[in-house]
Amino acid sequence: MTMKLFDSLLSPYAGRVRLAIYAKGLEVEFIMPQTEAAATLPSYTPISKLPTMLHDGHVLPESEVINEYLEDIGTEPSLRPSDPILCARMRLLTRIGDLYIMYPMGELFGQISPVDRDQMKVDEQMVELAKGMSWLDHYLDGTSYAIDNRLTLADCALVPALFFYEQIGPMFGMVAPLKKYPKIEAYFKGIKENPHAARVLKEIDAALQKMMAGG
């Protein structure tokens, strides 16, 4: 059965899955929002969030579940290290990105408009975001890949997250937001040279520009 992905070009979580798909060269049918096919998502899963994958009669919501599934069924090249400690580090970096960077950024997205902004909430989440970024900076080494000198699931998680960090920072007064984190800055500059990462970043950026323009 052909893989199908309920997708959104603007979602950092969907971008994580597309990055894995592109790196593996998989044939996937992408189902975009506001299409007739996209309206069927609630009939497959009550979670009804993007991304969700359909494959061989199985319904797989949640981006990291999807990416781990692609590894477990043996799609190549593998984006998961064979060495247990490297695999553990990969998962640690992914968890830092999800829990301590994406979560506070998600809270901040609801505070973008200065008109009805809750400054106390902004201040609290900015502290949490800075904490998460400092932890990520600690565990990266500043090279072009998060671990193993090649693209892994850690990069799939971090690339979209750092794109949005660079975008959201200036909205809350941060100038050159990555400058405080030299290893993250070097990593993000280097990973952009990977063609699959560059493709996803281009897609997310185009979708963001379209949204900002009211498209």
CA distances from 105 to 57, 126, 215 (A): 34, 8, 23
How many angstroms separate the CA atoms of 51 and 15, rounded?
9
Q: Which ranges constitute the DSSP H helices of the chain?
A: 12-24, 63-72, 84-95, 103-109, 119-139, 153-168, 182-191, 195-212
* Ordered domains of the chain (ranges, CATH): 3-72 (3.40.30.10), 84-212 (1.20.1050.10)
**Cα 200 to Cα 15: distance, rounded to the nearest angstrom:** 6
Q: How confident is the model at residue 214 (pLDDT cuts 50, 70, 90)?
A: confident
Tokens of 122: 């902004």
Backbone phi, then psi, for 144, in 5-degree steps?
-75, -10
Whole-number Å distance between alpha carbons of 192 and 198: 5
Q: What is the pLDDT of residues 158-199, one digit of tens each?
A: 999 999 999 988 888 888 899 999 999 999 999 999 999 999
State pLDDT tens for residues 48-102. Answer: 999 999 999 999 999 999 999 999 999 999 999 999 999 999 999 999 999 999 9
Evaluate if residue 1 carries a pLDDT over 90.
no
User: Is there a contact between 97 and 44 (Cβ–Cβ < 8 Å)?
Assistant: no
pLDDT computed for residue 178 by the predictor: 96
> What are 137-168's pLDDT values in tens digits?
999 999 999 999 999 999 999 999 999 999 98
